[in-house]
Chain A
Amino acid sequence: MEAVQSAMPLYAVAVSLIAVVLIGVSGGRPNLREFWTIAASVLKFSIVASMLPAILDGKVIEYTLFTLFPGLDISFRVDALGIFFALTASSLWIITSFYSIGYVRAEKEHAQTRYFMCFAIALSATIGVAFSANLLTMFVFYEALTLCTFPLVGHKETPEAMAGARKYLTYLLGTSLAFLMFAVVLTYNVSGTLDFSPKGILAGTASNTVLAVIFVLFMAGTAKAAMMPLHSWLPAAMVAPTPVSALLHAVAVVKTGVFVVVRIVLHVFGVKLLSDTGLGTALVYYASFTIIVASTIALRQDNLKARLAYSTISQLSYVVLGVALLSPSGITGGVMHIVLHAFGKITLFFTAGAIYVATHKTKVSELNGIGKKMPFTMAAFTIAAVSMIGIPPFGGFISKWYLFMGAAEASQIPVIVVIATSTILNACYFLPVVHAAFFKDADESTVKGSPSLSGASSIKEAPVLMVAPLALTAIGVLALFFEPSVFLELARMVVSGVTGNN
């Protein structure tokens, strides 16, 4: 594999950090401030996209920022997996920026400057995780992401918001300091390196028991992936403003979590080691457990964002499950699910936010007949929901298809049952919302729920800055079904890298 030395990954990370300063100094002038956010997001996406041709050519881009001391450095390495995630996150940041502006202005949120500054830092950290060349660099950005999203989660500064934010911090910082760091130190001790490698770095370095311990520590340390029982920070973090939930808790933060898991599975342990030791299979069943249980819990959530949160928990484990199957189609499906779920779930959160801004409703049971008032929003919701269930012609079908194939390749028949069951559960918690929105009559059932319905006739679509982004992401969901080739190609490169066909 040819390695190109270039500072592009550094620029991709740094661009939004520079924007943070500009946002900070233009805090008094909202339009200029928002211009910096948009400019940074577009520029970031362009930089990431400019690296794509080289990666598709089979090259990797490397850049060492500095060396802490011999053996440990902060360095970037852009490979197929990294750019896959970076493309997803940076493209959705542009859309979320517009949506955020619409949301905070419509809601007249306080501390908007802090909000946009933290958002920009969070994106730097996310891209940093995507492009990390070694565990230490990844750890740094992983922690930075936790710290800079804390003010976003606790944005409202009410006691509930602070409690949610504190739980968020406790889970994420606590597990990573206690377990992830331990795993990193152990990895360094047994293998003498922290650099990711397509074949893994741990094979043959220690006894199976030690490796199993390291593996468990790694999995327990990445609470951002929200695998049970370390998931409860995610519903708690839903106190955040909706755009935060949308980008960070459907895309950046949680996807960083699963991305780290994928990195560790594929590039620290390696496919061969995990299949020889049976740890991969263990992870498959662990993820299956989360998928089923979280979906079941989602059924009972009346708060729309809480339902989406549990759906996220369940869907994240699809990624873990796919990769843990260790079969080519399984890995493809898992990796593809990163982008497909991102587009679908961000659309769902966008619609939840639009509904909230337009009607101040948060409960599923209050949404009867809303489809007639907010047709675009609810159409987007429907598209995303159907994609989540995995029905063609929507993006979600692709990853589900590969997951089924992957399970078959790995001869894991129970996993096929798990995915099928989960699909049914997905349908059970999404379709009633769609049904209520379009086919139930607004007046009769909502009257008893909320007395404020006198104003129901005045309900109309949210501001265009919010509806346009959610329409775009819904179109994205559709487009990814018909034209997934770039992402599929990247996923294929990941697979061929780790299975040794190159």
Chain B
Amino acid sequence: MNIAEHLPVLVIVIPLMSAVIIPLAGRANSLYSWYITVAVTFSCFLISSSLLNTVMNTGRISYWLGGWEPPWGIEYVIDYLNGFVLVVVSFILFIVSLYARKSIEMEIDEDKTTTFYSIYLLFAAGLMGIINTGDIFNLYVFIEIASLAGYALIAAGRKREALMASYNYLILGTIAATFILLGIGYLYMATGTLNMADLREKLPALYDSKVVLTAFAFFTVGLSLKLALFPLHIWLPNAYAYSPSVVGAVMAATATKVGAYAMLRIMFTVFRVDFDPEAVPVTKILLVLSSIAIIAGSVLAIAQTTIKRMLAYSSVGQIGYIVLGAALVNQTAMTGSILHILNHALMKGTLFLATGAVVYKTGIDDISGLRGMGRKMPFSMAAFTIGGLSMIGVPLTVGFVSKWYIAVGALNAGMWYFVPVILLSSLLTTVYFWRIIESIYFPRKTKDRGQGAGGRGQNTERRTQSADINTPESEIYGEAPLGMLIPTLILAGLCIFFGVAAFLPVSVAEKTAAMLLGGM
């Protein structure tokens, strides 16, 4: 028996089993649980890379769980799309787990750290499962695993608001899962199968069926909620803002990406690209919603006073890009959309990790808390700046590449009016990042510091808090520990690397787009 054959399932089984082992190991020493987490996520990343490599060389991998032949047994399928997403997600999971130790020590009670890592791996297993599975019911199971773990992760912080945010997400997430389950039920009713490839064969004959239409609608709504497409995003800002920094980073960089993946999977491989029901003009609705998401996310981000909430709203906008690219339904835009899964994971990961470093050092994530940080934490802030420039879409960063593809794709589709949408959002993004970059590097003189604060009444309390930060004793803040700094810098470096050597991800994304829009 060749172990390599089993990689598609090992990438799920390893974190799942380790999640059980960790509480035992943590009993001996809570640090062991961190070691295991890093080792497991790293092996997941290695396996994912090897899987993507195999797919690139030899094509689609199909793995029959327990040897049962599909469509009866559960099938795991790796193709360009999920090979790519798998690498992105497992890499982020690995980088964040590297970063997690110090941050978690600071933000989570000590007796909970072991449990935290256990749930983290459960979450990882859920995400890997969603990505790998070729079975639509299995997809639902993994969505639930990932979601339940996610609720727990969000609630892990000390902040009371985190419980509320988690509960809020729990309610909405459950509604979403129910919608998805209903969709699955209807599809099964109409076709009698749960295997994705099999569904793809059987569905075209039933495109006119009301049952199939309803299923599609349920899927769209459920997945839109999961990936926080405007206006179904309301659970997201609080969930990101009140959770521990590590969780914010990992959720922003992976969970919504996996949601986007699931949507692409359902829309373009379970259903086909030519499925465009007249009764429900899904792509048109998604185009409109994603445009609104892009603009509204940016506008709302401007209005925020804490960094994490700002980043969360900016995520809402960025998810809009992924959906917009997909809904334009052409090769170039789809390439951009898939690239954006990687690019947004990198840049938002960078930003959340850099913010986490500030929170670690100062304990607050208020925007004014970053004032003058350029001198105190030069490397973290350099990473933050790179992330910010990338979000704006400055050339030679990853943000530019995906925006370019989506913009050119919009023009190719003859829908030029989406280009101003993208550019407007770039402008808005500049507004909310520049004010931070400016206060990082050009702190105002002491005299007028109070001036800007006085204007907005509700913030006075926070500002006073931050004024303390600027007292001389704050000068002792140095750079974050290396364990946090290095992962942050790796992500920031990749923001530049894949912005310059963009042809590497582009070559994969182009094949993926061709696969989604053409045959399997």
Contacts and interface: CB of A to CB of B under 8 A. Distances in A.
Interface of A: 66-70, 72, 74, 136, 139-140, 143, 151, 154, 157-159, 162, 166, 169, 173-174, 177-178, 181-182, 185-186, 188-189
Contacts of B420: 178, 182
A185 B422 CA distance: 12
B442 A70 contact: no
Contact of A185 (B408, B448, B501, B503): B408
Contact of B503 (A69, A139, A173): A69
A189 B408 CA distance: 6
Contact of A66 (B394, B442, B500): B500
B445 to A, nearest CB: 7
B442 A177 contact: no
Interface of B: 392-396, 401, 404, 407-408, 411-412, 416, 419-420, 423-424, 426-427, 430, 434, 438, 441-442, 444-445, 448, 499-503, 506
A140 B419 CA distance: 19
A449 B412 CA distance: 64
B401 A185 contact: no
A159 B506 CA distance: 45
Nearest to B503: A69
Contact of A177 (B423, B445, B499): B423
Contacts of A143: 394-395
Query: Which 8 interchain pairs have the tightest Cβ spacing?
Result: A189-B411, A69-B506, A69-B503, A68-B502, A69-B502, A140-B395, A185-B407, A177-B426
Nearest to A142: B395
B503 A188 contact: no
A68 B401 contact: yes
19 contacts: A67-B503, A68-B401, A69-B502, A69-B506, A70-B506, A139-B395, A140-B395, A151-B442, A157-B442, A159-B444, A162-B444, A178-B426, A178-B427, A182-B419, A185-B404, A185-B411, A186-B411, A186-B416, A189-B411
Contacts of A162: 438, 442, 444
B392 A177 contact: yes
A143 B397 CA distance: 13
A68 B397 CA distance: 10
Contacts of A189: 408, 411-412
B432 to A, nearest CB: 13
A166 B506 CA distance: 36
A150 to B, nearest CB: 8
Contact of A136 (B395, B419, B434, B503): B395
Contacts of A68: 395-396, 401, 499-503
A177 B430 contact: yes
A290 B367 CA distance: 41
A169 B438 CA distance: 11
Nearest to B389: A147
Contacts of A72: 404
Nearest to B452: A159
Contact of B396 (A69, A140, A185): A140
A364 to B, nearest CB: 31
Contacts, number: 71
A424 B445 CA distance: 45
A169 B441 CA distance: 15
A139 B434 CA distance: 19
A174 B434 CA distance: 12
Contacts of A186: 411, 416, 419
Contacts of A166: 438
Contacts of B444: 157, 159, 162
B491 to A, nearest CB: 20
A66 B501 contact: yes
Contacts of A154: 442
B423 A157 contact: no
B448 A159 contact: yes
A157 B395 CA distance: 28
B411 to A, nearest CB: 4
B273 to A, nearest CB: 22
A352 B142 CA distance: 71
Given A143-B394, A162-B444, A185-B419, A177 B427 contact: yes
Contacts of B412: 189
Contact of B408 (A136, A159, A174, A188): A188
Contacts of A66: 500-501
A179 B401 CA distance: 18
Nearest to A72: B404
B146 to A, nearest CB: 32
Contacts of A177: 392-393, 423, 426-427, 430
A475 B426 CA distance: 46
Given A68-B501, A177-B427, 16 more contacts: A66-B501, A67-B503, A68-B396, A68-B499, A69-B502, A74-B396, A136-B395, A140-B396, A151-B441, A162-B438, A162-B442, A169-B434, A173-B434, A177-B423, A177-B426, A178-B426
A386 to B, nearest CB: 40
A166 B503 CA distance: 35
A174 B424 CA distance: 9
B395 A69 contact: no
A178 B424 contact: yes
A365 B484 CA distance: 59
Contacts of A139: 395
A154 B427 CA distance: 21
Contacts of B426: 177-178, 181
Contacts of A157: 442, 444-445
A110 to B, nearest CB: 11
Contact of A70 (B392, B394, B501, B503): B503
A154 B407 CA distance: 34
A154 B445 CA distance: 13
A152 to B, nearest CB: 12
Contacts of B394: 143
A188 B392 CA distance: 20
Nearest to A180: B423
Contacts of B416: 186
Nearest to B504: A69
B423 A182 contact: yes
A177 B395 CA distance: 11
A69 B423 contact: no
A154 B434 CA distance: 14
A78 to B, nearest CB: 21
A173 B426 CA distance: 10
Contacts of B393: 177
Nearest to B332: A189
Contacts of A178: 420, 423-424, 426-427
B411 A173 contact: no
Most-contacted residue by chain A among B404, B499, B506 (CB, 10 A): B404
A160 B63 CA distance: 66
A293 to B, nearest CB: 27
B423 A181 contact: yes
B390 to A, nearest CB: 13
Nearest to A177: B426
Contacts of B424: 178
A140 B496 CA distance: 14
Contacts of B438: 162, 166
Nearest to A178: B423
Contacts of B445: 157-158
A68 to B, nearest CB: 5
A75 to B, nearest CB: 13
Nearest to A68: B502
Nearest to B509: A69
Contacts of B419: 182, 185-186
A158 B407 CA distance: 39
Contacts of B392: 177
A159 B426 CA distance: 26
B14 to A, nearest CB: 34
A143 B426 CA distance: 14
A136 B500 CA distance: 13
Contacts of A140: 395-396
Residue among B392, B395, B419, B445 having the largest count of chain A Cβ atoms under 10 Å: B395
B430 A174 contact: yes
